[in-house]
Amino acid sequence: MPTMLLLGSVAAAMHPPLRQSCPLLPCFQPSRRSPPPLCQLGAGARGRLFLDQKEAMTRQAEVERDLLAPHTQPMVVPKPSKKKARAMGGGGGGGFGAKAAVAPSAEEIATALRVDTLKSEGVCYVPGVLRKESAAGLLECVQDELKRAYAAVEAEPESSVARFNVPVDTFDPLRGYLLLPLRDERSVEAGEPDGVMVRALRECLSSGSVLGELFGSSLCGGGKAEWYDLVALRTEAGAARQPIHYDTPYQKACGLRDGGAVQPLGM
């Protein structure tokens, strides 16, 4: 027993409690180091990160093309099945005193079919929303706005966001948005009460037009559709392929996008 007590005393002397300051155990001393300095990205770093992300997205798009290309087919104008066509066409009831049902017009049937296609497919092909003359004038107008936007950013780089929706260091010369005014600058300078842009929108969305009836359908709130923005998506020759966009979530009342092409597009 005395031997055991002696060994216990020696062990206690060799290992003092850790809560006390001990010069042999510096790791338990309070740290006196200053915190690391806060760092920020230097000039041009955002552009480098953007280019790196763009390269990764291009590689992803190439993989997606190989996966999806065998399963795609050209878009066509939606056509109703025979059963759907009979339901849309309506029909009068027989018998004494029966009231004849008013058959919908061809335009109403076509609009209803487009609405059903949007609900089931999420996209609908609607050709010919603009006359050829209107499309040619709109293309010329957009080209003029693009030329003016380049000149404005050259003189004042800070205006890049207002013109192209991106700062100068992440601007892509081959693809991107061109933010458009409701009245183009050339028509304002000429003193025209409305310009090419206004006339094209009126032709597209006026009551009785194909898109006007579609935007005014119950799918978009029955005439309460909101206008979000007016842009031209430019894609120049040599632009890298884009991946599938995942930033369009499901909406019960889905938004419609008038993706009118003012010049031929190649896939």
Q: What is the pLDDT of residues 103-146, one digit of tens each?
A: 888 888 888 898 888 888 888 888 889 999 999 999 999 999 99
Residue spans of the domains in the chain: they are: 129-239
In the predicted model, is pLDDT for residue 255 greater than 70? Answer: no
Cβ partners under 8 Å of residue 72, min gap 6: none
The whole-chain average pLDDT of the chain stands at 76
Q: Between 97 and 178, where is the model more confident?
A: 178
**32-62 pLDDT, tens per residue?**
677 777 877 776 777 788 888 888 988 998 9
Cβ partners under 8 Å of residue 129, min gap 6: 204, 209, 210, 211, 258, 260
Tell me the C-alpha distance between 224 and 221, whole Å. Answer: 5
Cβ partners under 8 Å of residue 254, min gap 6: 118, 119, 122, 219, 220
| Averaged pLDDT for residues 256-260 | 52
pTM, whole model, 2 decimals? 0.65
- Measure the CA angle with vertex 260, ends 71 and 139; round to 5°: 130
Q: Is the dihedral of CA 104, 109, 115, 120 positive or negative?
A: positive
Q: Between 43 and 234, where is the model more confident?
A: 234
Tell me the C-alpha distance between 59 and 74, whole Å. Answer: 24
Q: List the one residue out of 156, 134, 141 whose CA is nearest residue 200.
A: 134
User: What are 84's two structure tokens?
Assistant: 């759907």
Tell me the C-alpha distance between 62 and 172, whole Å. Answer: 19
Which residues are bridge partners to 179 per DSSP? 231
Which residues are bridge partners to 234 per DSSP? 176
Tell me the C-alpha distance between 107 and 104, whole Å. Answer: 8
CA distances from 38 to 31, 45, 99 (A): 19, 16, 80
Tell me the C-alpha distance between 226 and 257, whole Å. Answer: 11
Instruction: Give per-residue burial for 103-136: e unless 16+ CB within 10 Å, then b.
Output: eeeeeebbbbbbbbbbeeeeebebeebbeeebbe
Contact 186, 194 (CB under 8 A): no
Please tell me the predicted confidence (pLDDT) of residue 144: 96
Which residues are bridge partners to 36 per DSSP? none
